[in-house]
Structure 1
Amino acid sequence: MASSEPSEAHFEATASALNNLVIAATSDHKTDPKTTLHTPASHELSHKWLQRIFPYHSLEEMESNLHMGNYVIDRQTGAKSFEPMSIYVRVGMHLLYYGSEQEKALHWKKTQALLKAQSEKMGAEYDAPESKAHIEPFIESFNLRSSLSEMVEPDPSKYATFNEFFAREIREPARPIAEPENDLVTSSPADCRLTAFPTVDMATKYWIKGFGFTIARLLGGSSPDVAKQFEGGSIVIARLAPQDYHRWHAPISGTVESVTDIPGTYYTVNPQAITEPGSLDVFCENKRSVMMLKRTATGRPVAIVAVGAMLVGSIKYVSEVDRVGTKVRRGQCLGAFYYGGSTVIVLYPPGQVVLDEDLVRNSTEEKCETVMKVGWRTGITKA
């Protein structure tokens, strides 16, 4: 019978694997990222990392047992495709979620310290001038060349650091919003893989399986009256993969009523972490920032929660948009995430939005994320 206590040796092996991955990714910025951090977890190149941790004897057995990726649905075509999980996410998830030995490791302060240290290390490395050399390999590895024309600065050589490129600004015409004259429409806050649920209860039934998730905890100890406004309301979850345009935008028009930065850790927000029954709820544990808006069309509150994740350096608002009283319009850029994956969660009060049927169907019946762009429609408020 497996011990109920976390294995010190097991933790150290996993921590060492993660540390070595970060070192490999930053020691030579000209290296293809898909040979270090972003190597698919099922790839032969990943085997040496995984063998240190997993007891399985073959990649096929590991892939079968340990969920090496996620299916997503293209909204425009309806096609379902498989996105392999990067090795650093797989290592990070095992550190937190898999095996009886790891169950109590969720609560280890040293686990949180490890993820914080590695995230800050990546942030510092990618803020350094030398990191500029990583821009071209990143573009080539993730086939981003054709998307550069959408950027305010399309020339990769003009970016001073990799993080500056990672948080690059997009030209507004490149992301037109759906039905711009109709302020009752809601739109996607990011280029992302999106799930949408008419109620929070449905979200916890189909998607958010970690223990401890509540609206009050997500909003970081806001007054009970604030959290209560969203109980029974709708929730939209937008996950940004590292290759995505990494800024988030307003899903509605409104006035900023408050912005609260909430300290936390840096767990992965990969769907396998979110949907694993009995795991820790990462949305309520991770570093995040909560913007409360008073919606122009209805006068009701809308919460926009920017959630950091594993190896995310920082969450930054664009100039002055986070000032109380600032008016923002749907589709307007609100902020940027620096290196890593991340998530934006939007909360609506009950009865305030009817989410689009295809998004809800994909999220519940298919249990899949939908690939979306900034400004695409997510729902509408009935007049």
Structure 2
Amino acid sequence: MKQVILILFAMLISATSAVSAPVRIKDLVEFDGVRGNDLVGYGLVVGLNGTGDGLRNAPFTEEIMTNILERLGVNVTGEQFRPKNVAAVLVTAVLPPFSRSGSQIDVSVSAIGDASSLLGGTLVMTPLNAADGQIYAVAQGPIIAGGATAEGDAAEVTQGVPTSGTIPAGARVEREIEFDFTQLTSVRLALRSPDFTTAARIEAAINSALNRRVALMLDSGTVQVDIVATQARSPAHAIGRIENIRVEPERKARVVVDQRSGTIVMGDDVRISRVAVSQGGLTIRVEEAPLVAQPNPFAPGETLVVPRTNAALEEEPGIGLAEVPEGTSLAEVVSGLNALGVAPRDMIDILKSIKAAGALHAEFIVQ
């Protein structure tokens, strides 16, 4: 697939200056105490069309199947199972904040044995535990797998990952997490991308919107809000008003490179100091063309292989020596490199070299 260069520009107010668009506070921070909790369980999927675990290679599947049948009153002591329509799975889910008993959540199901597909399977009732070992939800239902498999006598084709899937609204919450949000006297806002400037703007925006000093920046990643000083009816009312206040976030100059796909993502605030750039390529070709020599028919002798090698070294013309002026912006650098006919991977190498020379004033991330 042809490589492409993806350049994402921020919204520009003018050709020479750029300002970030206002963003809601709820999109910039996490509210302390308002978080989900991870759940995990170990269960059994039944109803597979011969694509389940081989019990000889996955004895834990036989063990859980025996336990389930015995809980249902079926005595299977000493019996040997060899079905191919069951599979042992791990079930994971996230319990959202303030979930109440009876509400439903999505779950993910993944095979842990040698099952080849979970298509058409049904998850048997599986308890989901949190880190404290308590059961908070129970999952059950038909699985929507994320792939498909077709096979014949001599070939097999697999698309996607049929050994994992999801069950929308497949778990029911049985236990609530005890957290009295109404008793909070203050709440901390944790920035997803810590930055002193952004934190200061959040503090100023909240104080301005509420016409009183209720927010205080503690560090680059935390802003504390005094709930009592907001004079709201409850902490929930205070957070509901604060989270929709808009702030212009500040961000670091950053260049992200994906070497596998040749993708380059740069912010509009990336700057480059004065530097000269030259790029070229060297190609080495080595070809083996052995010559086989053998005697005439019925004549004495033996067949010999004489090695023959053709080697060539070619230097491809480079882009020449190009000077990048000081303070050059992202748009000017990209347009200049494109005008020189630089390929995506060559552009990545050039950016790496400019960064190594100390002329690229941005955080450089290679994936």
Q: Where is the strand percentage greater, Structure 1 or Structure 2? A: 2
Q: Where is the helix percentage greater, Structure 1 or Structure 2? A: 1
* Structure showing greater relative contact order (alpha-carbon pairs closer than 8 Å, 6 or more residues apart): 1
Greater Rg by CA: 2
Shorter-normalised TM range: under 0.3
